[in-house]
Structure formats: C-alpha cells, structure tokens
Amino acid sequence: MLTALLLSATLTSAQTALLPPAIPWNGASRALMVPASDPWVTPSEATQFRKTPHYDETIAYLNRLVKASPNLKMISLGKSAEGRDVWMVIASKERAFTPDALRRTNKAIVLAQAGIHAGEIDGKDAGLMLLRDMTVRGTKRDLLDGANFLFVPIFNVDGHERFNRWFRINQRGPEEGGWRTNARNLNLNRDYVKADAEEMQAMIRALRTWQPDLYIDLHVTDGADYQYDVTFGWNSAAGYSPAISRWLDTNYRSSVDAGLREMGHIPGPLIFTDDPLAAGVALGQSDPRLSHGYGDARHIPSILVENHSLKPYDQRVLGMYVFLEHTLRTIARELAPLRTAIATERARRPESVPLTWKVPADVQPQQVEILGVESRKTLSPITGDVQVEWLGKPVTTRAPMRVASEVTSSVKPPRAYWVPAAWQEVIAKLDLHGIAYERIAAPREVDVTMYRLSNPKHDTSQFEGHVRVTTTTTPEKRKERFPAGSVRVSTDKPLGTLATLLLEPSSGDSFFQWGYFNSILAVTEYVEDYIMEPMAERMLAEDPKLAEEFRAKVESDAAFRGDSRARLWWFYQRTPFYDERARLYPVAREE
C-alpha cells in the first residue's frame, strides 16, 4: 500500500514535469478574477484555479447565486444514469424563464454546455464566473441586455464525479477532475443520433424545447502543441446548413477573435493535425453523432470549442470566459442576419443531402498563418521509432488550410420515408429528435422504392455499445402494404435533412449503420437437401434457360462448383418458397 502511494506521488509529479514547457502567459483577462476575500469568489478562483469543484459544490454555488439574483433560474433537464440532475441555469434580464417567454424577449438565446467530456471542465468554472458577473457582481450586466444565456455547467454529471488525480495525462490542470465517458462508459459526444444515454435524451429534449439560436459545446483538446489557447469551429458551408456556416464565418468569428486577442488570448481554428507547422490545418465535416454535426443537421448554429490542454488551467478558464462573453456580445449585434440564416435553412429543401466529403484535389489550399511551437524529432529507444519533443518556443509560419469541402457521396431525399409499425424503437427515436410524421390508423398500400441489402459487413468489435454495419443497397420498386401504426415521415419539413441522415442506410449515422436493423440481415427459413435435390432436377428439366444459367455458374465459379450446399441454395433462392423479404430494408422511400 505504502509502495503504491509512493509510486502514485512520483507519477503525478512526473506527469507535470514531463508535459511540454508552458509558454509564459499573463493576459489582461487576469483582471476578471476576484480575490479570495470576495463573497462571490467561485470555488476554482478561491484556489487560484488549482482545483475545480465537485458536482455538489458547483450546484451549491449556483443555488446561492440563483437565490441572490432575480435574473437567474435553475432547472433540471433530466436525470443521469446514476440519478443526478443535469442542471441548466437560465440567465434573463426580463426573468423570462419559460421557452415561450424567452422567445418573446426577441433577444438571442445562447445555450452553452460544459463537461460533455467531464475531464475537460474549463467551461464550468468560466460559466460560474460569468453568471456571477452578469448578475450579483454586475460588471457584465450589459450582456443580458442583448442576449439570454442558458448554461449547463456539467453535462456528463456521472463522469464528473468519477473524480481523481488520474484523469487526463496530457492536461495541465486542474489537480483533480472527472472522466471522459458517462457511468455506462458511453461517450456523450458520439451519442447525438442514437441517444442511448439518459443525459443525451435530456439534452435533445432541451434543444427542442428551448430552441437556442446558438449551441456551444465546450471541450479541451490534447494533440499537437501550438500557441493557440482557445480554438473553435463548425461545419463548413459544404455541410448541412450553408447559410448558418456563412454567418459563423463572416459575422461571428472575427468579432470573437478580436475580443479574445484584446484580453491577451490566442484564438485559432480547430487543429487536428499532428504537426501544424508543417501540415497546417485540416478541417472535416462532423457527423451528426457529434454535437456540432448534429446541430448542423438540424439547423441549429453550433460551435465546437476546444481549449488547448497544455495551457495552464487559469489561462484556459479565463479564455473560455472571454470566448463566452464575446459570443454574447457578437450575437446581440448580429442576431437579425443569424435568424435569417436559420429561417433560410429551415425552409430549404436540398436536392441532395451530402453523406461524405473530401479535400478537393484540384484546388490549391489556402495558405494561412500558423502560430506553432517548435519541436524536435529524435529516435526513441523504447519504440525504435521517431518521437516528437515539443520545445515550448513559439514559431509563426504559413501552412495550408485543407477543408473537406467536396461532396463525394450524397443521397436524394424521397418525398417521404415509411417506417413500418414493427420498428417502434426507431419510431421512438424519431419522436425524441422531434421529427414529425403521420401515423396511419388503417393499413395502406403505397408505391415505394425499397433497398435489397447485400454483402453486409459488421465491424469486428463494438463501438459505443453497438455493432455497426455497412451494406450494399439495390433499389427495388414495390407496392408495399404498411400495417396500421406505421409512420410516414415527410422530408418536406425543417428536419427533412436529419430524417434522411437517420433513415437512409448509406448514411454513416443512420439507424441502420448503428445496428438497429441487424435482425433483418438474417435469412431465417431453410430447406432440406432431400426436398431440394429432386426439386432442382425438376426445375432444370422444365426451364432450359435456368439450366443454362446453372451450367454457366458451375463452369465459371470454382468456389460455387465445390460447394454442394451453395449449389442447392442457388435453386432454393429461385423457388417461391425462398423468403421474398430476405435482406429487404424495411424503411421504404415514397419517391
């Protein structure tokens, strides 16, 4: 036990010592901190940002704040798997504490969530300071003149309470913190479509109920070292909501960048390359399983914020504070064009919905300024391979920004999808996402296109609790009779794109690919050889064309030739006894 403790102490100090050197920072945003003697000092400020508070202490602070300020109310969005409330604070000058009242203020509604990955908790401590300054302390009261602020301090509440020193090895503070995934080991930021987690179901209901003009997901990223402390981005105009992306690109980013710089922060784009000085910036489109991909698919302006894990905790928390402050200032000024962009996207009925993208090969990428950090490559005696050592010395250069903006596959939305009554689990998910449909009270026959599936390929291991699958689809025109209780999902709706992404089996975030329809991939009726053998003989005798086809198959396909079972099955498939619905995807397209 003693040895274990000694080893633990050595490992924590080793982790701190082994992090790449911090770049000295003393930004103007330090002035936002209040002294420990202030009655409204936040729990993290009181420790000079060495620590972050537990769930109970966080909620206790917020309860005290709400009690002291008429402009705040706290509501529970729902319970986590372990029964904790996921709290949301509503900050409104008009005390508009219902969704309708909030809409009637005609001010922007900004919803920011912290701790979807609970170890990345900067947003929580920033939000506590900001809510205090907007209300009891009064130094930022003007922010509520132009916007309403909805704040979820801890989204992954159960993961947050898996609280200890051993939480994020690549991160510079706080001293202790929570875990990435929830109590069921689900990553909430892969859960927006399938919504397995209770916490996620609560959040999706909140998005529908409170209809934010802007949805912000606050994270901390590791990866390469660079100078930026606050990086943020969204799906580009090649995604699902181009008008909204353009607003973010042109009306939003430069204003928030300027606000951050003024306070001594170093804003940057999302960087997911290992060596930004050489490789620059690579931006993809996020899938709907992720917060900002989901927001894009349902036309909610959505921003992913990634503070940089190698920056000290005080710098990161203050950076997020300034980010949120200038987001509220910018949206207050730019609300009219944002609302126009949202309305444009909700009214748009795209000819095709993109499914995959790539960086265009024939377009020279734009060169952008990169605020990087010098590194050295050495040979590792442990791996025998090259290792990167970050040296903490700022370097500025220009490098390419590659954006996956060329659509490589897409699907044309049908007039409507039909989901048969038997698939209640899928229909319940449509309900959760707020996708409207008509439920038929009596059976109805409809001319539809359905997919026959072939070559299903299941992943060899689970992902987020599901065994995912892809397949080849062959369309078939059919007259299909849908039983009472089946639903017709029109795509001529604001959420038509989201419905397409959920129901089209070639979509990477479809319910099909998440494994909801795995049972239809089984062929469930069989034939005995002693029946099939004489029947095959009769079929050959009665149908010379079939006989020729069989002969050709035997001659050309060696595997088939050597497989007696496959040879009989070939005939079985050509009898009316064979399952006519084998591998028929049950969701149909009404074209």
Which residues form the interface with Zn ion (CB under 5 A)?
117, 120, 219
**Cβ 117 to Zn ion shortest distance, Å:** 4
**Cβ 116 to Zn ion shortest distance, Å:** 7
Tokens 């020729």: give the residue. Answer: 548
**Cβ 479 to Zn ion shortest distance, Å:** 48
Specify the residue, 219 or 429, whose C-beta has the smaller distance to Zn ion. Answer: 219
Residue 174, preceding peptide bond in cis (omega within 30° of 0) = yes
Give the Cα separation of 204 and 211 in Å (integer).
10
Specify the residue, 80 or 330, whose C-beta has the smaller distance to Zn ion. Answer: 80
Specify the residue, 222 or 406, whose C-beta has the smaller distance to Zn ion. Answer: 222
Specify the residue, 129 or 188, whose C-beta has the smaller distance to Zn ion. Answer: 188
Specify the residue, 181 or 245, whose C-beta has the smaller distance to Zn ion. Answer: 181
**Cβ 190 to Zn ion shortest distance, Å:** 11
Specify the residue, 120 or 158, whose C-beta has the smaller distance to Zn ion. Answer: 120
Give the Cα separation of 60 and 38 in Å (integer).
17
Token pair of 37 as six digits:
């003697």
Give the Cα separation of 464 and 455 in Å (integer).
23
Quickly list H helices, 135-216. Answer: 143-146, 157-160, 198-210
CB 172 within 8 A of CB 221: no
**Cβ 270 to Zn ion shortest distance, Å:** 12
Q: How is the beta sheet containing 281-283 ordered, strand by strand?
A: 281-283, 386-403, 366-379
**Cβ 120 to Zn ion shortest distance, Å:** 5
* CA torsion, ordered 132, 136, 141, 143, to nearest 10 deg: 30
Residues 6+ positions from 358 with CB-CB distance below 8 Å: 404, 406, 408
**Cβ 141 to Zn ion shortest distance, Å:** 31
Read off φ and ψ for residue 500, nearest 5 degrees: -60, -45
**Cβ 219 to Zn ion shortest distance, Å:** 3
Specify the residue, 107 or 117, whose C-beta has the smaller distance to Zn ion. Answer: 117
Specify the residue, 8 or 185, whose C-beta has the smaller distance to Zn ion. Answer: 185
Give the Cα separation of 164 and 176 in Å (integer).
5
Specify the residue, 119 or 505, whose C-beta has the smaller distance to Zn ion. Answer: 119
Give the Cα separation of 472 and 453 in Å (integer).
6
Specify the residue, 161 or 480, whose C-beta has the smaller distance to Zn ion. Answer: 161
Closest listed residue to residue 155, CA positions, set 204, 193, 110: 204
Instruction: Count other Cβ atoms within 10 Å, centred on residue 576.
Output: 5
Q: In the 3-class helix/strand/coil scheme, how is 83-134 assigned residue by residue?
A: CCEEEEEEECCCCCCCHHHHHHCCCEEEEEEECCCCCCCHHHHHHHHHHHHH
Between β-strands 416-419 and 469-482, what pairing exists: parallel, antiparallel or unpaired? unpaired
**Cβ 357 to Zn ion shortest distance, Å:** 22
CB 321 within 8 A of CB 250: no
Single-letter code of the amino acid located at 429: K
Give the Cα separation of 124 and 58 in Å (integer).
9
**Cβ 217 to Zn ion shortest distance, Å:** 8
Specify the residue, 115 or 242, whose C-beta has the smaller distance to Zn ion. Answer: 115
